[in-house]
Amino acid sequence: MMKHFDRALRWLKEDMVRELRGMWPLLKSYQTGLLLLTGLAGYMSARCPILGWSLLLNLTGSLLLAISGSTVLNMVYDRDIDARMQRTCGRPLPAGKISVPKALALGIALSLAGMVWALWINALYGLVVFAGWFFDVIVYTIWLKRRTAWSVVWGGIAGGMPVLAGRALGLGGIDWVGLMLALAVLLWIPTHIMTFSIRYRKDYESAGIPIFPTHYGERRTQLIIALSSVLAALAMGAAAYGIGMTWGYLRILIVLGSGLFFLALFSTMHPSRKIQFGLFKYASVYMLGSMLLVMMQGI
């Protein structure tokens, strides 16, 4: 009897592991991790984590759940688009690896848990987290993504909410530094999304998604990406000044920002998809490095 019970338990564990492995890609771990990092940086820019480690752990858990939930819900809603795009047709939902009801239940559960937790921690923090979820799922994905290329702006606003939420929790309010940090992320988002829209233009067009390269031309889109990258560096520089970043860290930030500026300038003078993708990769490194510097300053 015990032998059969152990075998059944082992099969159950194996089935759960397979289920979790199948659902993991729904969370977009790289994107989720980077947004979570911005939230931690926002918090640490206002409060030393050593003095507020309990609050930091609460922020990490609530923000991780809320971001993951919105990501899953986005993939549920966009599954028909993903199925028509070569780049995304292998994702769990269009490939039929995960059922829609399971993914929907997961997205709702994660979202509710994250937002309720955030509101329990602090009302203002919870409202900012909810705003990020609302802009991402409702405004960007459901309302605007299939209607206008300018939806990218609202996607950028959603992307800037985690760092603003973290700063608001650490500070107890919203200040201009938090807004600058959020603006830096907002301006970084077009570098990410528009570069993908250039690289996979045919995919987006076949899926019927309005994008800047189609409506405004590839050259103009490249200029917007370059300008957005430079403005993101300036916004981050202003935020670094506002938090009183020490000269040692500030020098590293200036070097990183200079690299972004010159790469953006080079991409406008010698436009090509290869250089554009190089700018996209460096902009991601810049944003990651900048947020790490903000965190180190907070320690």
The CA distance from 54 to 280, in Å, is 35
Q: What is the mean pLDDT of residues 104-115?
A: 96
The pLDDT, as a whole number, for residue 269 is 81
Classify residue 37 by its DSSP letter. H
195, 205, 192, 162: which is closest to 60 by C-alpha?
Answer: 162
**Domain locations in the chain as residue ranges:** 17-298
93, 100, 33: which is closest to 67 by C-alpha?
Answer: 33
* The domain over range 17-298 is classified in CATH as 1.10.3470: no
- Whether the per-residue pLDDT at 16 is higher than 70: the answer is no
High-pLDDT (> 90) share of the chain, %: 61
The pLDDT, as a whole number, for residue 254 is 92
The CA distance from 186 to 266, in Å, is 22
Residues 180-216 have pLDDT tens digits of 999 999 998 877 788 888 888 888 988 899 999 999 9
Residues 217-258 have pLDDT tens digits of 988 988 888 899 889 999 999 999 999 999 999 999 999 999
Classify residue 140 by its DSSP letter. I
Residues 268-291 have pLDDT tens digits of 787 777 777 788 888 889 999 999
120, 156, 125, 136: which is closest to 67 by C-alpha?
Answer: 136
10 pLDDT band (50/70/90 cuts)?
Answer: low
